[in-house]
Amino acid sequence: MAVVTSPLAARRKRTSKIVAALCMAAAGIALAVLFSILFTLVSRGLPALTFRLFTTETLPTGENGGLANAIVGSLIQVGIGMAIATPIGVLAGTYLAEYAQKSRLGAVTRFVSDILLSAPSILVGLFVYELMVATTKTYSAIAGSVALAVIAIPIIIRTTEDMLSLVPVPLREAAAALGAPKWKVTTLIAWRAAGAGMLTGLLLALARVAGETAPLLFTSLGNLNWSTSLSEPMASLPLTIYQFAASPYGDLVELAWAGALLITVGVLAINIIAQLVVGRKR
Amino acid sequence: MSERAPTSGRSTQGALAERGFAGVVLGSGVIVLLLLGAIIVMLAIGSAPAFREFGPGFFTSFVWDSVNEVYGAGIMIWGTLVTSLLALLLAVPLATGCAYFLTELLPDSLRKPIGTLVSLLAAIPSIIYGMWGFFVLAPLLSAFFLAVSDRFVDSPAIYNFLIGISGTSIFTAGLVLAVMVLPLITALFVEILGATPVVLKESVYGLGATRWEVIRNVAIPYGRRAMVGAVMLGLGRALGETMAVTFVIGNATRWSPSIFNQGSTIASTIANEFAEAGFGSMKLAALLALGLTLFIISFGVLAAARALVSPRQG
């Protein structure tokens, strides 16, 4: 059989190939940038990553400080933030998935939650500043925690609702047919069935707030000294990175890179764990 | 609630629990509504002194003078819009290419791990992008412009222009933002292109269409609305990005029409100047007014994005 190729067919094939090549180039550029970022992080962060980092607090340049207070501060604020956000987020997500599928109020709540999900985080910082810092005239760790909670809530709502709506309706109907009231169907059947997915949502929210800098700028402010008091300014890893990276001192910039590597590894690890949790369930 | 009248003590208790739980979940939903309301009210109250002082001219004035306490948002609004549009201009074609590559060209076995990689890229904290932009991209750019001007440029005017370009500029901020929104838009595009019904694609392949023709004439038209929404989501992200931009834009509060000069965005100005604004000062009010401006802009963009992307996506 003779292969007949008209000029038109040849041109169409060529176009398709050229586009494919361009797309590969686009993917190549994206990968190159990714590797540049990761390479910079590792090559500049790893040499500065010592054990001292975890045991010594931040000190002025030349005094061989660490990041201990920033790490502890981050853990405290992220912990409290998640403790505030988890019940509100899970319950509001449950409301959207189980109680408000067709209601007007539910639609509005869903829309507002979606807006909050992608609202600039610096605005959350300004809001909490006005709410808690301007009124008490002190920057505080608790204000930072609240700001982080406000950022985490819409993430938790979204995943909770998504995961609950994946639970098959017959499962709920079976429980209801046995006489279980709706709240029991929700907590004992739906929550349990969607548990792994909801946990993933919590982990994703955790990863997101752990790296947030902007909302902490005007709430917990940062602190170069040890402080575990919730009513005083508190250090955090992202804020310390920001302050040190912008400083003119080489040793502090080095510490900033170590902190940057630390937080990226932490955030990526939580993300990977979150994906594994869902993966195992499926 | 479809319960019959309670007949025993136990079912009264049950009804109470039922109503209690319904009330608690509803209450949590209402908290979210109140949150958005409170954000608007707080920003409005805080920025009131600035609007009283400068009026609607606040939005159009290109003067930001901390010494004489005269503030206008023009420079920052301009910087915000220009950096974000620049980011989209670069990121959207790249994201389209990446999405096409991921959904059509990549063998099935690689699709999942590379998709995971893209989503991980979107999870990297923005401050990391900022540091990369400041320590890697900015020096690279200024070295590039220097090399170009040394080697290829004879005209002194262009030479001086190129020499004058610093590593930190509105342009650099646009580049960093493009890198930041790229994984977000790519992930959404992959989802949208992947949602094209296989039957549709196969029937066009059956007519003899090439891969590119299927994408161009079937997949993209099919998902166009959602893709526009995805781009708007990317825009929303770029408009409000703070840390990455603050590192690389130079934070200049003087007006310059060139994107190769230093500038500032709304978010970078708030982050950068907040430390100098005391409780109750006019500067604080002006910064909060900037925040309100950003809120209005991004609210509009995000609302449009959500309306376009169906609620179950993105």
Amino acid at B283: K
**Is A254 within a domain?**
yes
Non-local (6+) Cβ contacts of B305 within 8 A are A118, B229, B230, B232, B233, B235, B236, B314
Residue A98 CA to residue A161 CA, distance in Å, equals 8
Range of the domain at A195: 57-281
Q: Is A266 on the interface with B (CB under 8 A)?
A: no
Q: Is A277 on the interface with B (CB under 8 A)?
A: no
**B183-194 tens-digit pLDDT:** 999 999 998 988
The encoded tokens of residue B118 equal: 């893209």
Please count the residues of chain B: 314
Confidence of residue A280 (pLDDT cuts 50, 70, 90): low
* List of chain A residues whose C-beta atoms are within 8 Å of the C-beta of residue B186: 30
CATH no. for residue B93?
A: 1.10.3720.10
User: Does position A218 have pLDDT exceeding 60, yes or no?
Assistant: yes
Give residue B49's Cα distance to chain centre.
29
Residue B212 CA to residue B204 CA, distance in Å, equals 11
**A72-93 tens-digit pLDDT:** 999 999 999 999 999 999 999 9
Q: Is A14 on the interface with B (CB under 8 A)?
A: no
User: Does position B166 have pLDDT exceeding 80, yes or no?
Assistant: no
Residue of B nearest to A204 (CA): B123
- Predicted-assembly ipTM surpassing the 0.90 threshold: yes
**Is B238 within a domain?**
yes
- Within 13 Å of residue A199, how many CA atoms lie on the same side as its CB? 16
Non-local (6+) Cβ contacts of A97 within 8 A are A160, A161, A164, A165, A190
**Is B62 within a domain?**
yes
> Which residue of B21, B90, B102, B235 to mutate against A (max A Cβ within 10 Å)?
B21
CB < 8 Å from B in window 22-81 of A = 22-27, 29-30, 33-34, 36-37, 40-41, 44
Averaged over A250-270, what is the pLDDT?
Answer: 94
Closest CA to A214 of A148, A267, A142: A148
Predicted pLDDT of residue B249: 94
* Between residues A207 and B167, the one the model is more confident about: A207
B209-219 in b/e form (b: 16+ CB < 10 A) is bbbbbbbbebb
Q: Where are the alpha helices (DSSP H) in chain B?
A: 9-54, 74-100, 108-123, 126-132, 138-152, 156-164, 170-194, 198-206, 211-214, 220-240, 243-248, 266-273, 282-308
- CA geometry: angle A180, A185, A187, nearest 5 deg: 130
**Is B46 within a domain?**
no
User: Does position A2 have pLDDT exceeding 60, yes or no?
Assistant: no
* List of chain A residues whose C-beta atoms are within 8 Å of the C-beta of residue B96: 23, 26
**Is B256 within a domain?**
yes
Task: Measure A51 CA to nearest chain B CA, in Å.
Answer: 22
Closest CA to B223 of B202, B184, B199, B197: B197
Range of the domain at B70: 56-308
Helix count (H) and strand count (E) of chain B?
13, 2
* List of chain B residues whose C-beta atoms are within 8 Å of the C-beta of residue A23: 96-98, 100-101, 105
Confidence of residue B10 (pLDDT cuts 50, 70, 90): low
**Is B14 within a domain?**
no
Backbone phi, psi, residue A65, to 5°: -80, 180
Amino acid at A240: T
**Is B9 within a domain?**
no
Instruction: Answer whether B105 sits within 8 Å of A16, measured CB to CB.
Output: no
Q: Is A250 on the interface with B (CB under 8 A)?
A: no
Contact between B145 and B162 (Cβ < 8 Å): yes
Residue A43, SS3 per DSSP: helix
Residue with structure tokens 């920001």? A242
CATH no. for residue A156?
A: 1.10.3720.10
Q: Is A166 on the interface with B (CB under 8 A)?
A: no
Running DSSP on this structure, what letter comes out for residue B71? E
Predicted pLDDT of residue B119: 81
State the pTM of this model.
Answer: 0.93
Residue with structure tokens 């292109």? B193
Among A218-227, A264-273, B127-136, where is mean pLDDT lowest?
A218-227
Residue B274 CA to residue B12 CA, distance in Å, equals 56
Predicted pLDDT of residue B258: 87
Instruction: Answer whether B117 sits within 8 Å of A34, measured CB to CB.
Output: yes
Predicted pLDDT of residue B7: 52
**Mean pLDDT over the full length of chain B:** 89
Return the percentage of chain A with pLDDT > 70, whole number. Answer: 98
> Which residue of A123, A173, A262, A277 to mutate against B (max B Cβ within 10 Å)?
A123
Domain count, chain A: 1
Residue B28 CA to residue A272 CA, distance in Å, equals 29
**B49-77 tens-digit pLDDT:** 999 999 999 999 999 998 899 999 999 99
Contact between A217 and A148 (Cβ < 8 Å): no
Instruction: Answer whether A245 sits within 8 Å of B28, measured CB to CB.
Output: no
**Is B272 within a domain?**
yes
Averaged over A220-238, what is the pLDDT?
Answer: 91
**A145-193 tens-digit pLDDT:** 999 999 999 999 999 999 999 999 999 999 999 989 999 999 999 999 9
Residue A48 CA to residue B191 CA, distance in Å, equals 39
**Is B102 within a domain?**
yes
Closest CA to A49 of A71, A82, A20: A71
Tell me how crowded residue B43 is: count the other CB atoms within 10 A of its CB. 23
Of B38, B132, B303, the CB nearest to A127: B38
Predicted pLDDT of residue B257: 86
**A118-148 tens-digit pLDDT:** 899 999 999 999 999 999 999 999 999 999 9
**A42-70 tens-digit pLDDT:** 999 999 899 989 999 898 888 888 999 99
* List of chain A residues whose C-beta atoms are within 8 Å of the C-beta of residue B127: 211, 213, 238, 241-242, 245, 260
Confidence of residue B310 (pLDDT cuts 50, 70, 90): low
User: Does position A71 have pLDDT exceeding 60, yes or no?
Assistant: yes
Instruction: Answer whether B302 sits within 8 Å of A115, measured CB to CB.
Output: yes
User: Does position A205 have pLDDT exceeding 70, yes or no?
Assistant: yes
* List of chain A residues whose C-beta atoms are within 8 Å of the C-beta of residue B35: 112, 116, 150, 153
The encoded tokens of residue B131 equal: 């540091």
Of B18, B36, B125, the CB nearest to A116: B36
| β-sheet bridge partners, residue B64 | B71
Predicted pLDDT of residue B165: 76
User: Does position B313 have pLDDT exceeding 50, yes or no?
Assistant: no
Instruction: Answer whether A37 sits within 8 Å of B295, measured CB to CB.
Output: no
Residue B75 CA to residue B309 CA, distance in Å, equals 31
Domain count, chain B: 1
* List of chain A residues whose C-beta atoms are within 8 Å of the C-beta of residue B239: 120
Contact between A110 and A96 (Cβ < 8 Å): yes
